Structure 1
Amino acid sequence: MVQEKNNQGDNVSRRSFLKNGALSAAAFMIVPRHVLGGKGFIAPSDRLRIAGIGVGGKGQGDIAEFAKGPADIAFLCDVDERRAATSVKNFPKAKFYKDFREMLEKEHKNFDAVSVSTPDHTHAVAAMAAMQLGKHVYVQKPLTHDIYEARMLTQAAKRYNVVTQMGNQGSSGDGVRQLMEWHNAGLVGDVHTVYCWTDRPVWPQGIPWPTQKAEVPKELDWNLWLGTAPHKDYVDKLVPFNWRGWWDYGTGAIGDMGCHIIEPPFRVLGLGYPYEVECSVGSVYVDEFKRGYFPESCPPSSHVILRFKGKGGKVVTLHWMDGGIQPERPEELGPNERMGDGGNGALFIGSKGKMMCGTYGMFPTLLPTARTQTANVPQTIARVPEGHYQQWVNAAIAGPKSDKAKMLSSPFSIAGPLTETILMSNLAIRSFDIKKEVEGKTTYPGRYIKLLWDGNNMKITNFDEANQFVKRTYSDGWSLGV
């Protein structure tokens, strides 16, 4: 779960969390308005007290969105005081911490929910620790860094009976619901192939780890930032953004954008775990005659092919392309018409037609595009007028058994399997760099093969070396606590 206790007051053990979780469960009791009475009285159940973990950058935007509704930002936590400065200014009443473990141990009785907007490698330990204390959680995409972590968080959300949401806000948008209605009405027939693409990364990938050390900024606690990751010396510009291109911390272009772009086909087609995956990846020239692959870094581009058993057992093939690679333009699309949103998108190919969308499921379009205006399909799926953030706030206030909780767009029961699919792509990409020495020659047995996936058991069945990427080893002292 979190780091075992080595120094008194610094770290929180699993035993401590479980004990505190019981106290928290007793403390967090919703008192109905009619019991407290009083005209104009705001009952505790009418506002959600949120603790933010990672409150700079995207985290800053997340807590600002929560605060627009019936929520109070009660605590702020960030390992980098520079990144947290705006949130500290905007929420002066919120107490600030650097270590989320200390915050959870000392303050768990004083808030109801947690928002996690840290780098990917910290998502799971922070979210699990909060759920074990009975806290509702909102976690930025991708839900986790590893497949195993995603499965554990999905199970934990149900076990601890908390309200959860992943930060892929497009899942609450009108676009994906429009696509579902077109598909359900049979306008494109049985979808058998989907192409998803992005122009990301917009950060360095496919490069060796820098050899030049840099001075750690005084406002940044580098050891806390590393958390579950192996210890390395700080390098310039890794924080706040370029960590995305390194496997120790990030999940590459698909981790960043897949939850926004793959989510529409995942939801529209009701996909589950893929049963096989294959890929090819781009490389870089390290000199005039030699191409290089750097296993610490995500590749500059990739093409991943995943296959699923869809409805009725029919095979659905999903292509993921990043680094600017795009599929062939459909013949129904005019030569000057935009495909997706330009740099990103998803294209559905069915037995009766095609449809497409951009990032977040925006710009849903039937092909040819003129069909979009003439399609007469009634609205059958409820929209989310309050938006993704307030949907979670309202559901958390109403409680896990409420109708509002049942209507959430991206609870972990949905976000977990989606994240696993995305991370399955990374498993294939990382398998590309597995080396073996055979008779004095270096071979790469994970390249140019098809990996067979047993989703229920989280295991590649035909190339065991690939399974090292299902669950990583945390640095000493850290555990998910399951």
Structure 2
Amino acid sequence: MKEKEKNTTSRRDFLKAGALAAAGSFFIFPRHVLGKGFIAPSDKLNIAGVGVAGKGFSDVNNAYNNGANNIVALCDVDWNHAKDQFAKHPKAKKYKDFRQMLEKERRNIDAITVSTADHTHALVALAAMQLGKHVYVQKPLTHNIYEARLLTEAARKYKVVTQMGNQGASNPDQQQMIKWFNDGVIGDVHSVHVWTNRPVWPQGIPVPQSTGPAPEYLDWDLWIGPATKVGYTPAYHPFKWRGWWNFGTGALGDMGCHLIDPPFRVLGLGYPTEVEASIGSVFLKDWNAEYLPEGAPPSSHVQLKFPATAKNKTPITMTWSDGGIRAFRPDVIPADAQLSEPDGANGVYMIGTKGVMNCGTYGVNPKVFLNTGQVLTTSPSASSPSVPEWGHNLAWQEACKAGYNSAKHKALTSSFDYAGPLTETVLMGNLAIRSYTLRNPTADGKGFTYPGRKKLLWDGKNTRITNFDEANQFVKREYQNGWKLA
């Protein structure tokens, strides 16, 4: 090899070295040498997107960052749904199968965005991390608790930069809430109430029937992936899969990582110790509720309990409500006072000994209602009506360039070290909801008993329900159709 070649460092080699060794300086030409506005090739990431329509459209384009990075490959099982993304990045290689993309483009990819349906998040993310690729994965991080724990551990093992796409985690308003709590403004918190107007898609309905073959532009088998195989119907793809346990995680999966994030972060919560649920019933006949175990219910009510923490000296009870069931306002909040989210569709109350902290989706516009009658709010400049997803994604991009051991990676607000335990907590609610629908026939064959309608005790370290073994079937899933997670 020529001496000149020995001393040449490619952009990809540099970025890989940064991820593994957290190099302290960038091998980048100064911008004033290259010309104003020019971005050196060594300062760009080569990014691939998997699931690039719907939510994936914004994830990929936030990562592209107006040309600050390269979009080198795009993967989607539905090329009709992804056509606008393909048109936006015509030079990117197109794939339907992420495994083929990783095999063929592995030397040309630095980082990957994953915005598929919930049931394939873990498959794509783990495969990418095993190749040393940084990953940005949409919320919820995974379809089940086992996968969340696995991805958290894999990020540490492979030393890659990770971020979950719950953009409210990067909302500066959350820092104000942390400061209020750390300053003792609301005292020790004993109760948290979280609610959402989701589902806003059909849920609590009978299983859809197949409408015939999938259109030729959609690879239905790839979309099904590790889930139980079902026939094609537009009642699942591209959006309504959320309400079916085979693919989605219901209202909790859709909004839990946004709404449970503020109390989880502010109060320094870890694994819950117990969970209990009840759900809304669907009656199509008098006195005869529909039994719909395949799908999430029309509404649910979940209670999680957490031990006292280093930050909060009191055990905490967290109550989640969905399906339009909203938490009642605490007495300390005046009847006509406007909440953080004006229409009250989604929100959080953290109830302490000195007052109540309230915030809306993504932790925006936080307010404190003190027992003294005083109300604290953020300044208009600090409170954002909507949190820009771009900034959350940008922080991940910069951390990818800086490396796994860098301060920028450690400063990420939803790396898997945080997002994994948060997602596990969110999915604990689904474990209780699914256990609630378990039933056994009575001895006379005329009715059923529901053994899962009980308080479930959780061993977070070992990811097990300790007092009702049947519930543990929902901690992980059995992969189908030849797929495996390893």
What SS is found at the alignment partner of 1:81? coil
Would the alpha carbon gap of residues 339 and 34 (structure 1) be closer, same or farther in structure 2, given more than 3 Å must change? Answer: closer
TM-score by length of 2: 0.88
Query: Is the CA contact (8 Å cut-off) linking 1:214 and 1:236 kept in structure 2?
Result: no
The residue that corresponds to 1:462 in the other structure is: 467
In structure 1, distance between residues paired with 2:428 and 2:377: 37
Where do 1:144-293 residues align within 5 Å? Answer: 144-293=142-291
Query: Is the CA contact (8 Å cut-off) linking 2:332 and 2:355 kept in structure 1?
Result: no
In structure 1, distance between residues paired with 2:388 and 2:399: 12
What SS is found at the alignment partner of 1:267? helix
Query: Is the CA contact (8 Å cut-off) linking 2:208 and 2:235 kept in structure 1?
Result: no
In structure 2, distance between residues paired with 1:315 and 1:35: 51
Query: Is the CA contact (8 Å cut-off) linking 1:329 and 1:339 kept in structure 2?
Result: no
TM-score by length of 1: 0.89
Check if 1:443 corresponds to 2:429: no
The residue that corresponds to 1:14 in the other structure is: none
Deviation at 1:212, TM superposition (A): 4.9
Mean Cα deviation higher: 60-69 or 332-341: 332-341
**Letter aligned with residue 331 of structure 1:** D
The residue that corresponds to 1:66 in the other structure is: 63
The residue that corresponds to 2:393 in the other structure is: 389
In structure 2, distance between residues paired with 1:188 and 1:251: 33
Query: Is the CA contact (8 Å cut-off) linking 1:163 and 1:400 kept in structure 2?
Result: yes
What SS is found at the alignment partner of 1:286? strand
The residue that corresponds to 2:485 in the other structure is: 480
Mean Cα deviation higher: 460-469 or 228-237: 228-237
Deviation at 1:95, TM superposition (A): 0.9
In structure 1, distance between residues paired with 2:349 and 2:116: 31
Query: Is the CA contact (8 Å cut-off) linking 2:28 and 2:42 kept in structure 1?
Result: no
Count of residue pairs the alignment pairs up = 453
**Letter aligned with residue 204 of structure 2:** G
Residue from 97, 102, 117 that aligns with 1:119: 117
The residue that corresponds to 2:361 in the other structure is: 359
Query: Is the CA contact (8 Å cut-off) linking 1:45 and 1:397 kept in structure 2?
Result: no
The residue that corresponds to 2:422 in the other structure is: 418
In structure 1, distance between residues paired with 2:242 and 2:263: 24
Would the alpha carbon gap of residues 324 and 33 (structure 1) be closer, same or farther in structure 2, given more than 3 Å must change? Answer: closer
Check if 1:310 corresponds to 2:314: no
**Letter aligned with residue 245 of structure 2:** W
Mean Cα deviation higher: 327-336 or 293-302: 327-336
Mean Cα deviation higher: 277-286 or 126-135: 277-286
Residue from 107, 111, 115 that aligns with 1:109: 107
Query: Is the CA contact (8 Å cut-off) linking 1:174 and 1:384 kept in structure 2?
Result: no
Deviation at 1:29, TM superposition (A): 4.2
**Letter aligned with residue 309 of structure 1:** P
- Which deviations, in whole Å up to 9, do the C-alpha atoms of 1:138-182 show, x marking residues without a partner? 000000001000000000000000000000000000221111111
What SS is found at the alignment partner of 2:404? coil
Deviation at 1:370, TM superposition (A): 5.1
Deviation at 1:386, TM superposition (A): 7.4
In structure 1, distance between residues paired with 2:338 and 2:147: 37
- Which deviations, in whole Å up to 9, do the C-alpha atoms of 1:41-71 show, x marking residues without a partner? 8555411111000000100011111122632
Check if 1:57 corresponds to 2:54: yes
In structure 1, distance between residues paired with 2:322 and 2:249: 13
What SS is found at the alignment partner of 1:277? strand
Deviation at 1:26, TM superposition (A): 10
Mean Cα deviation higher: 335-344 or 150-159: 335-344
Q: Any gaps of 5 or more consecutive residues in structure 1?
A: 1-23
Deviation at 1:329, TM superposition (A): 1.3
Deviation at 1:334, TM superposition (A): 3.0
Residue from 92, 95, 100 that aligns with 1:94: 92
The residue that corresponds to 1:322 in the other structure is: 322
**Letter aligned with residue 443 of structure 2:** E
Deviation at 1:373, TM superposition (A): 4.6
Would the alpha carbon gap of residues 274 and 33 (structure 1) be closer, same or farther in structure 2, given more than 3 Å must change? Answer: closer
In structure 1, distance between residues paired with 2:410 and 2:137: 18
Mean Cα deviation higher: 287-296 or 78-87: 287-296
In structure 2, distance between residues paired with 1:174 and 1:207: 39
In structure 2, distance between residues paired with 1:128 and 1:297: 26
In structure 2, distance between residues paired with 1:403 and 1:374: 28
In structure 1, distance between residues paired with 2:317 and 2:104: 49
In structure 2, distance between residues paired with 1:240 and 1:54: 11
Query: Is the CA contact (8 Å cut-off) linking 2:189 and 2:314 kept in structure 1?
Result: no
Check if 1:47 corresponds to 2:44: yes
Would the alpha carbon gap of residues 314 and 186 (structure 1) be closer, same or farther in structure 2, given more than 3 Å must change? Answer: same
Would the alpha carbon gap of residues 350 and 336 (structure 1) be closer, same or farther in structure 2, given more than 3 Å must change? Answer: same
Query: Is the CA contact (8 Å cut-off) linking 2:195 and 2:347 kept in structure 1?
Result: yes
RMSD: 2.5
In structure 1, distance between residues paired with 2:250 and 2:104: 35
In structure 2, distance between residues paired with 1:248 and 1:221: 17
Mean Cα deviation higher: 318-327 or 446-455: 446-455
Query: Is the CA contact (8 Å cut-off) linking 2:47 and 2:72 kept in structure 1?
Result: yes
- Which deviations, in whole Å up to 9, do the C-alpha atoms of 1:213-258 show, x marking residues without a partner? 2441221110000001011101233211110000000000000000
Query: Is the CA contact (8 Å cut-off) linking 1:269 and 1:310 kept in structure 2?
Result: no
In structure 2, distance between residues paired with 1:452 and 1:335: 37
In structure 2, distance between residues paired with 1:27 and 1:367: 48
Query: Is the CA contact (8 Å cut-off) linking 1:293 and 1:299 kept in structure 2?
Result: no
What SS is found at the alignment partner of 1:244? helix
Would the alpha carbon gap of residues 123 and 373 (structure 1) be closer, same or farther in structure 2, given more than 3 Å must change? Answer: closer
**Letter aligned with residue 250 of structure 1:** G
Query: Is the CA contact (8 Å cut-off) linking 1:206 and 1:293 kept in structure 2?
Result: no
